[in-house]
Copies of this chain bind each other. A is one copy, B any other.
Amino acid sequence: MITTKDIAERLGISVSTVGRALSDDARISEETKFRVRQAASEMGYVGNRAARMMRGASSNVVALVIPDIRNSFYSTIAHELSKNMEAEGFQLMLSETDDDRMVELRHLRELSANRVAGVIIVPTARPHGDSIKLLRGLPHLQLLRRHPSLGSQWFGVDDHESLREATAHLVAQGHTRIAYLGGPTELPTGAERLRGFHSALSEAGLPDDAGRTELGPPSSVEYGREAVRRLLEGPDAPTALVLGSIQLTLGVLEELSEQGVQVPGELSVVGFGDEPGFSWWGPGLTTIGLPIQEMATGCALWLMRRLKTKPENDGPYTSVSPGSLVLRGSTAPPDGKAPSSSA
């Protein structure tokens, strides 16, 4: 690897002159600057950021710590961050935790060792104590999930309201046996979504046992399939289903379409998230659309600004983006037998 010293020797000048020329210092003659730049380019010189960091320069790397990039939720976020950051000269490090706090900790150790400029994290349910300590030393931002011990900078969506609205939509259609299938309540998102579900039920004055819930520890496609199978068994199966996780939604859709369940005839369904394919599933999936793109952009811009301004303006910051119900064909009043001419 070529260094400033190599260039200096080649031109018979000192390293400091080379350094100054490359940083376009005012007191270097134009001619020298030209010769230096020429040589640098010819020799394929690329400045060593490690060395610069030792002199106090900060890293240009921001890390994104998420459960799984295959979840399109997260890949959209990653893309949006990457795009916004590239424009500002930042690079994106990708760390997948698989929702395992130990993996999360290992990643944070590495990120800290690499002295990344900042971290955007979707924390696991209960981060390790050391993870919390490590994050204290790094400018960071929580995304979607919010853990109290990880500071008060947070970007997320209105989980409670999104599920309340989705459930209310089913209630308005006359459903009285509604099931909710979502992620674990250990996660702040899971808890909020479940709360939203219950809010809608109680607002409608429905009895507590109107709502049946299946809360997966694993928010996986496979679990979604199993859970919906379980839900549909038995005599008083629900007539409607609201979902609280993208992965679970994918599983449910696969299972329902495989079992040939009539939607919305036998069962009304409201999905979570709006993936490619949701629109062409069965009668079109009515689903909770999330403004992840906007959220991610906001998040990127906030962090960029935070990193560029020296002062520790680490005041609490919270951004809650609203979801929106995307109405398609997968919901209808219960007992499809009676096509019901109600509005």
Q: Choose among A49, A98, A250 the residue with the greatest number of B CB atoms under 10 Å from its CB.
A: A49
A320 interface contact, C-beta 8 A: no
Partner of A254, one of B44, B68, B82, B279: B279
Q: Are B79 and A113 in contact (CB under 8 A)?
A: no
Contact with B along A72-92 (1 / 0, CB 8 A): 100110110011001001011
Residues of chain B contacted by A250 (CB below 8 angstroms): 276
Size category, A interface? 35 or more
Q: Are A133 and B70 in contact (CB under 8 A)?
A: no
A residues with CB within 8 A of B: 1, 44, 46-51, 53-54, 60-61, 64, 68-70, 72, 75-76, 78-79, 82-83, 86, 89, 91-96, 98, 103, 106-107, 109-115, 133-134, 137, 221, 250, 253-254, 257, 275-282
The 30 sampled A-B contact pairs (Cβ below 8 Å) are A44-B133, A44-B134, A49-B113, A49-B115, A50-B50, A50-B114, A54-B54, A60-B110, A60-B114, A61-B114, A69-B75, A70-B75, A70-B76, A72-B75, A75-B75, A78-B94, A79-B96, A82-B95, A86-B106, A91-B93, A91-B95, A92-B93, A92-B95, A93-B93, A253-B277, A254-B276, A275-B276, A275-B277, A276-B277, A280-B281
